[in-house]
Copies of this chain bind each other. A is one copy, B any other.
Amino acid sequence: MADTRPISSQSQSAEEPAKTVPFRGGGFVVKPLGVIAPLVFVVIIALWELGSQTGFISGLVLPSPSESFEAFRQLFDSGLLFVHLSASLQRIVIGWTVGSTLGIIVGLMIGLSSVARAGLAPLVSAIFPIPKIALLPLFIIWFGIGEGSKVATILFGTFFPTVITTYGGVDNVDRNLIRMGQSFGLSWMSIVRKIILPGALPAILSGCRISGSIAIILLVAAEMIGAEFGIGAYILMAGSLFATDQLIAGVAILSVMGLCFAWVIGRAEKYFLNWRT
């Protein structure tokens, strides 16, 4: 069979339609758009205020943002804001740090050892679903009604989700990379620290986002136990008095705490995961 290699006469005539090759790459990469987030909040709050003002949203349970802000101002003026905040922050920071650290350690154990997985993973599945609130009486016996039980509540709440995300992340680390580490005679500890931990880090950080939010949620549960000060105690008090303006002010403080925490995790992701696209 003769070769049919194109010669100029066979090539496309000049009248053929010419277009640039369409771009089909790109996308699937999320870029930060700084302006939208504040806008969304402003719009939501404005709509809510409008709704309250026009009576569309009944004042019965949901006060207007301005009323809530007024309650917040009172709290601020009374000087108690910082007392509440510092009490709560201390509990959260200790509880979350210890809970997450233990969670990462146990998660690594479950991810790395068959025995630990067989023994601990079902325990985690069995204990995680137990509502902290139901156990408050026990917590009081075990940890007293001082700071102990409050920190313990947050600690327990953050421990379990961290365990689960950590071992999920470990399971997902490319085994080829581990084999590489072994082939270079890296110690077990080095492999865990330098290969498995960084490989599981995206999952762990995503777990931190969750556990951080849970820690904030649990402030309320934690401060049910003999707490005089704390944002959670403030919210509980407002709730029991049905002082909805204070309630919303307290909840807004929690929201802001959540936003700050998310921002920190976002920074950590930027810093630790900058190797990703």
Binding site for B on A (CB under 8 A): 24-25, 27-37, 39-41, 58, 60-62, 110-115, 117-119, 121-123, 125-135, 137-138, 140-141, 160-161, 164-165, 168-169, 171-172, 175, 178-179, 182-183, 185, 188, 191, 196, 202-203, 205-207, 209-210, 212-213, 216-221, 232, 235-236, 239, 242, 244, 247, 250-251, 254-259, 261-262, 276-277
CB-CB under 8 A for A24 and B202, given A128-B258, A129-B217: no
Query: Which chain B residues border A30 with CB–CB below 8 Å?
Result: 110-114, 117, 171
Q: Which 8 A-B pairs have the closest CB atoms?
A: A168-B206, A125-B262, A129-B258, A129-B216, A36-B118, A33-B118, A128-B213, A126-B255
10 extra interface residue pairs, beta carbon distance < 8 Å, beyond A30-B112, A30-B117, A134-B239: A24-B183, A25-B182, A31-B114, A40-B119, A129-B255, A131-B220, A135-B251, A164-B206, A165-B206, A172-B202
Identical chains in the assembly: 2
CB-CB under 8 A for A239 and B137, given A37-B122, A118-B36, A161-B210: yes
Query: Which chain B residues border A58 with CB–CB below 8 Å?
Result: 141
CB-CB under 8 A for A209 and B255, given A28-B196, A133-B220, A183-B24: no
